Structure 1
């Protein structure tokens, strides 16, 4: 009887260990999250991949452009708000959305995205056009233009189709560029505490354009993100050097947004 008990306990322990190992290997790797102080507690910044990031603040969770498969979000709280910037598959990813617990989330999107979302999300959608604002769940979400230069009807990102966003979270202004170049609207931003700025040719802008745009609006902290282009990863070290040579006060935070090759 004693031997049977010990054998059962050993098998149970092995099963738990095997289960833990399986969970560890199936969950997507992530870089460590950052925390930024606000008037209503810390803002947690969790890079996911490419243009995807998750914010946790004041008991709320915000997913930005959820993409890359639901496994990338394993262990994170279900979103209360989802922001989608554009119609391209690295921003609007119905397969990833379908694998996430989004039933209680508000989806803040431009009209072009709303038109392509599955009808199951219709009641959750809030459409914002460039220049519009939504106050919800104690935060403010403003839609900012994002587009290619020179402006053209056949551009990959024409003006007015997609949204960048500025979030006000506990007195901190957080800018998400979406797919853009260093447009006048970005350069004119004021009071941005944290910025996420893209740099991947031929879709958005090169490293120098991104640096010059950032030097124009002077965010307190800037994260280069969305920096994989046709020829691989952009030189974010060069971006940091260019920015900090001209302005040492801007905190350029380099994080690995591509922990797993896709």
Structure 2
């Protein structure tokens, strides 16, 4: 009887001292390594996330573009100071991903159509930018430019005026985000673009050939193909690079893996 009591006490002591088991944290989604681009106010860090989403870190500020695909893809990154959303489609406006991110202090810059669809909890954080409007805030400049399909049609996936492409000025560097567009005149007419992010996915935007011709028209210093998953899989970004550099070797075409989870 005495032995039984001692054994029971020992087991109770062990149970109290044993560390509680914890559920391991979800592993962060894989992502491409970041790039750094010099500016007059320190480096601009470019972090590809997935599809049309990228995160910029610059001058103590963090900018999320089209947060999408789940909060795990942003693990380890600073909370956003600014969020840019280009369009109403779910691969750009993703309330579920927003809900999992620390966005409570972020300024959200969006076109009117996106503002109408954002959950009510974000309304106080929203600033609306229409095509052609510009906002200077937090030491950076954001200009909204058109993004749309050609030929223009009321039933096109992206109609003129609904969504925004953006041009950011960050420490003297002009950074263009195409959003969902074709090689529209407004894109071809861009000037002094240092870094461009250009979409290419059929049937929603443009094909590789269109994207290459559009880029050759406005001649950015650096171009990243992004948003290149379409109905038939991933676009041939190597062909894009080949076409661009065959005509203009000065354009730095940077191929990064925007879909690492698919590999």
Does 2:36 correspond to 1:35? Answer: yes
Match of 2:48 in 1: 47
Does 2:53 correspond to 1:79? Answer: no
Match of 2:187 in 1: 186
What is the RMSD of the two structures over their aligned residues, measured on CA atoms? 1.8
Match of 2:159 in 1: 158
Point out 4+ residue stretches in structure 1 off by more than 4 angstroms.
none
Alignment of 1:1-262 (within 5 A): 22-23=24-25, 26-261=27-262
Q: Which runs of 5+ in 1 are unaligned?
A: 1-10
Deviation of 1:138 (Å): 0.2
Structure whose alpha-carbon radius of gyration is higher = 2
User: C-alpha distance in 1, partners of 2:241/2:137?
Assistant: 34
User: C-alpha distance in 1, partners of 2:120/2:28?
Assistant: 29
1:16-56 per-position Cα deviation (integer Å, ceiling 9, x unaligned)? xx98xx45x61111111000000000000000000000000
User: C-alpha distance in 1, partners of 2:45/2:91?
Assistant: 22
* SS of residue paired to 1:78: coil
User: C-alpha distance in 2, partners of 1:31/1:130?
Assistant: 31
- TM-score scaled by structure 1? 0.91
* SS of residue paired to 1:260: helix
User: C-alpha distance in 2, partners of 1:117/1:105?
Assistant: 14
Q: Which runs of 5+ in 2 are unaligned?
A: 1-17
User: C-alpha distance in 2, partners of 1:213/1:150?
Assistant: 15
Deviation of 1:152 (Å): 0.6
Deviation of 1:188 (Å): 0.1
Deviation of 1:261 (Å): 2.6
- TM-score scaled by structure 2? 0.91
Deviation of 1:122 (Å): 0.6
User: C-alpha distance in 2, partners of 1:201/1:161?
Assistant: 19
